[in-house]
């Protein structure tokens, strides 16, 4: 589909010249490491080459500059055709616990308060229409709707590099990249807890919900991406309900407690001195899981006492002692196990201050355990150099996942069946969006005819028509139009729940466009490209 003459040359220059310079830079996708029951996927960036074979019949007499100009125009037109014929793609670019170490993930972590800003910046890129950010302790994933796959990926990678100060070449070593159906399935697996360190853990579903909550009203969190995340929430709930996959599974906080107890001598469990630093969501869960393990007393360090008091009120049978942050080091010196879960962007514990702490009790072998579930980390990596200290972070929770593998596999297989079904429905919904412009234009066409004929009818009936009669005639005409449109409208919808195929739906769309001459406006995609060009020329 060629662009209108008012758009194809000057207005297209800015977008084409910028994007054509990027076409030679490719980003080979790193194969996604096999997660729990993940299907092997080969992901790649599709190479797009715009060719220009200019063979004018009068080449022998045409001036050289005329030939060059003709070639340039053909090049622009071929690029324009490629944009308007290529459907926008859902793409996920990310790093997770399966592909990147915590040192890399913490550099790219985006605080929740910054998600709207990140969405706005991503959507200001030439080839990105919609965006969302999912940033947790185990993953940092960018979801976008891209006008062009490889150009969109290039722009997002450059944005990630700029915001994290990590070179693109280094990001490429750890990232994963998925398109359309694979991207959809990935998010559904994430929401269902299949991509987590601890299979079926529920915290990630709450984090997916938070993406939708934060995205509401944010320009750029559009129909496709918001629809994807909302459907992922449905999938996560359905998997947990129908497979009971969360039964016996634990969250990251619970896994942290499990890991600590695995490392402690069995005889010491009743006497171990517990310290929790941070009383936010993660810290609260750590406290609850400690209580579930039989811990009756612990110290909680937090910036304020308000949250600790609320937890103490909820867990009345447990002695929870509050201490301010100023006493953190003193409390650590009196504890055998230290859990850290704060939002601090700099380490709370370094080798220089931990080495001077009193030793842990002999009940635990004299070795103090730090379990750090924060990203960025609260405990510096240098602390692990100390002989009588053991430091564990979110990457070490893999040990906890090792038990009851057969049962988890069975439940994960059941979950994959649900995910496949829901993925099909989501793709059918997304594909059916192509018919929305036709539905709107057909309704508008019918409404124009209805109003014109209604006006003629009422004009023939005179000026003194009772309001009741006027309303009855209007209702009659509206009812006739609605009944006539019902059949065509039904055949323009395809949500995956009936036997109608997408190809049949699209055939119906094209037929209606031809019969009613509806396909007279420039395409929706052309409008998006025009808006992008005009926006970036300001």
Residues marked active site are found at 137
Task: Name the DSSP class of 349.
Answer: B
Cβ neighbourhood burial of 435 (10 Å; 0-12, 13-18, 19+): buried
For residue 491 the two structure tokens come to 């055949």
289: its two tokens: 């899981």
Q: Who's near 64: CB < 8 A, 6+ residues apart? A: none
Contacts of 6 (CB under 8 A, 6+ apart): none
Report the first-to-last Cα separation within the chain, whole angstroms: 27
DSSP letters, 55-119, are: --TTTTTS-HHHHHHHHHHHHHHHHHHHHHHSPPEEEEEEEETTTS-HHHHHHH---GGGHHHHH
Strand positions, DSSP E, 136-235? 139-146, 176-179
> How is residue 154 written in tokens?
């290039």
What is the rounded CA–CA span in Å between residue 336 and residue 276?
11
The percent helix, strand, coil of the chain (3-state, each to 5) is 55, 10, 35
């Amino acid at each position: 589909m060629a662009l209108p003459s008012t758009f194809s040359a000057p207005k297209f220059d800015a977008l084409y010249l910028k994007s054509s310079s990027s076409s030679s830079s490719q980003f080979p996708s790193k194969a996604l490491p096999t997660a729990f029951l993940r299907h092997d996927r080969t992901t790649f960036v599709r190479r797009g080459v715009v060719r220009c074979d200019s063979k004018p019949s009068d080449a022998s007499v045409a001036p050289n500059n005329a030939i060059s100009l003709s070639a340039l125009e053909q090049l622009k037109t071929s690029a324009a055709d490629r944009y308007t014929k290529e459907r926008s793609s859902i793409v996920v670019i990310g790093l997770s616990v399966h592909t990147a170490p915590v040192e890399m993930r913490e550099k790219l972590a985006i605080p929740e308060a910054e998600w709207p800003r990140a969405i706005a910046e991503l959507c200001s890129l030439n080839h990105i229409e919609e965006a969302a950010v999912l940033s947790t302790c185990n993953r940092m994933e960018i979801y976008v709707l891209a006008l062009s796959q490889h150009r969109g990926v290039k722009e997002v990678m450059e944005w990630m590099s700029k915001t994290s100060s990590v070179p693109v070449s280094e990001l490429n070593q750890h990232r994963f990249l998925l398109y359309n159906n694979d991207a959809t399935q990935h998010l559904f697996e994430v929401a269902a807890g299949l991509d987590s360190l601890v299979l079926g853990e529920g915290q990630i579903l709450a984090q997916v919900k938070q993406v939708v909550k934060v995205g509401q009203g944010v320009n750029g969190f559009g129909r496709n991406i918001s629809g994807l995340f909302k459907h992922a929430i449905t999938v996560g709930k359905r998997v947990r309900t129908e497979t009971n996959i969360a039964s016996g599974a634990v969250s990251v906080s619970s896994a942290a407690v499990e890991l600590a107890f695995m490392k402690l001598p069995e005889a010491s469990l009743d006497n171990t001195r517990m310290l929790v630093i941070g009383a936010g969501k993660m810290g609260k869960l750590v406290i609850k899981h400690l209580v579930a393990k039989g811990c009756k007393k612990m110290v909680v360090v937090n910036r304020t006492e308000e949250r600790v008091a609320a937890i103490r009120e909820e867990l009345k049978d447990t002695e929870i002692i509050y201490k301010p942050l100023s006493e953190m080091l003193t409390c650590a010196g009196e504890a055998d196990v230290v859990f850290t879960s704060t939002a601090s962007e700099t380490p709370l514990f370094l080798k220089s201050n931990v080495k001077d702490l009193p030793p842990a009790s002999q009940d635990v072998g004299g070795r103090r355990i730090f379990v750090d579930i924060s990203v960025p980390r609260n405990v510096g990596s240098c602390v692990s150099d100390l002989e009588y200290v053991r430091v564990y972070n979110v990457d070490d929770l893999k040990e906890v996942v090792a038990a009851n593998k057969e049962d988890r596999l069975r439940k994960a297989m059941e979950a994959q069946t649900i995910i496949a079904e829901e993925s099909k429905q989501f793709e059918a919904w997304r594909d059916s969006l192509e018919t929305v412009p036709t539905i709107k234009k057909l309704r508008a066409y019918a409404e124009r005819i209805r109003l014109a004929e209604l006006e003629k009818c009422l004009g023939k009936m005179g000026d003194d028509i009772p309001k009741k009669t006027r309303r009855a005639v209007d209702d009659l005409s509206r009812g006739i139009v609605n009944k006539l449109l019902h059949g065509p409208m039904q055949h323009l919808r395809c949500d995956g729940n009936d036997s109608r195929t997408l190809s049949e739906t699209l055939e119906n769309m094209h037929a209606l466009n031809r019969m009613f001459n509806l396909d007279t406006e420039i395409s929706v995609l052309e409008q998006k490209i025009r808006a992008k060009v005009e926006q970036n020329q300001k």
